[in-house]
Chain A
């Protein structure tokens, strides 16, 4: 009886782990896309709205979905004058604190990390260039993330169940 329950538990957790992995594969390109859209919004805020960076980030947070919302809102909060942090430090802190909650990988983080060095430190035209460059790089990552999704999403689902079954066979 206990054996049965154990087997079911192992199979169940294996399957769930597989589904989780598959969801990550599906979420990554979607979140990268959202990130690109957010950057485009930022570009508009900078060029047409002349919105200061903290306000622009807060606006991006309002319009974004979780988990990106937290990234932007925490960047905006770190930029408050009381914190006395530079824009670069604020963005990097926000990325470091919240990146684990996203499905994105370190390559995307690195792109935003690079962008943080220039954000807010130059005139509009320069800003546009840097944002466009980051968006371009993200698009590249998005394409490879989509490939990964096609390749691995379904496999991970079945793999989870199979690994669960393997463990069961090995144990019993």
Chain B
């Protein structure tokens, strides 16, 4: 049981959370600390407030209200006593701590020339607990392989936030990079993977070194703007598969197109509950129209489990698996 994320919480909150039953702790996804407002946790079951006795409740009034000292300590812990080293993070609004956990920050922003210079008076924290689920990509990966050409297909992974896109990306990177996946007779060797990790979420890099196992042949461009990072990767790191999180802007789409034309497989994610939603977003609609992606994976996770739908280039459903793991539609692998 990996509870390393507890170390980044102030003592008062840590001791409260330690009173919660371990079954809930290991499944927890978020801890939300808001100064002067109830302490909240989020898990597969939805949100709960934490009381002073360490019990869970839905009644906000009886919850523990984190104090000013709590948020000061939290900031001190996650910044290694040195907030001035995190100006870039403060501009972006989150800090990645060892273990790959991401702490989102909210407070009052300071502007400079119309852009956010940094956040000060930080009073809201959202700790997203990063988990490595090895094998989460197992049921999906076979659909992404083009057996005849022995390559990975261009893929777009779609889901609303908190449905496990990043976890899936991490496992895909690991499996593609280490190879040996798929059925034994058609197993492929590991290939070079490049990850452009703008929000340090996929690899959870700390000083440039990934915290998670993203495979032996994987390069990570950490905290790099997506479009620029993709071009840098293509130019200098010669990846065979380029992975990028949450594309959406025009320049991202251009970089993806560039990658596709350079003969590099692109696996990307985007927010959205289905391919129809993409049509409303200009950059993604263009990619959709030009049939740039060969596979679409739409994730849907509930408290029961992870369901997904795989679509082909023309957005026809190849396979659907609901959250209980029931499979509909045969869907050929080739």
By a beta-carbon cutoff of 8 Å, the part of chain A in contact with chain B is 46, 50-54, 56, 79, 81, 84, 86-87, 90, 119-124, 127
Contacts and interface: CB of A to CB of B under 8 A. Distances in A.
Secondary structure dominating the interface of B: helix
Contacts of B108: none
Contact of A120 (B11, B79, B87): B79
Nearest to A76: B81
Nearest to A56: B82
A46 B162 CA distance: 37
A53 B87 contact: no
Interface of B: 7, 11, 72-73, 75-77, 79-85, 87, 90, 118, 120
B7 A81 contact: yes
B81 A50 contact: no
Given A84-B11, A120-B76, A90 B84 contact: no
Given A120-B81, A120-B84, A127-B84, 14 more contacts: A46-B82, A52-B80, A52-B81, A53-B80, A54-B82, A56-B82, A84-B11, A86-B76, A120-B76, A121-B75, A121-B76, A122-B84, A123-B90, A124-B84
A81 B82 CA distance: 13
A84 B75 CA distance: 12
21 contacts: A46-B82, A51-B82, A52-B81, A52-B82, A52-B85, A54-B82, A56-B82, A81-B7, A81-B77, A84-B11, A84-B77, A86-B72, A86-B76, A120-B76, A120-B79, A120-B83, A120-B84, A121-B76, A122-B84, A123-B84, A123-B120
B81 A90 contact: yes
Contact of B72 (A52, A84, A121): A121
A127 B77 CA distance: 18
Contacts of A87: 76, 81-82
B7 A123 contact: no
B115 to A, nearest CB: 15
Nearest to B73: A86
A81 B11 CA distance: 12
A151 B34 CA distance: 56
Contacts of A119: 81
B72 to A, nearest CB: 7
A59 to B, nearest CB: 13
A124 B87 contact: yes
A57 to B, nearest CB: 9
B72 A120 contact: no
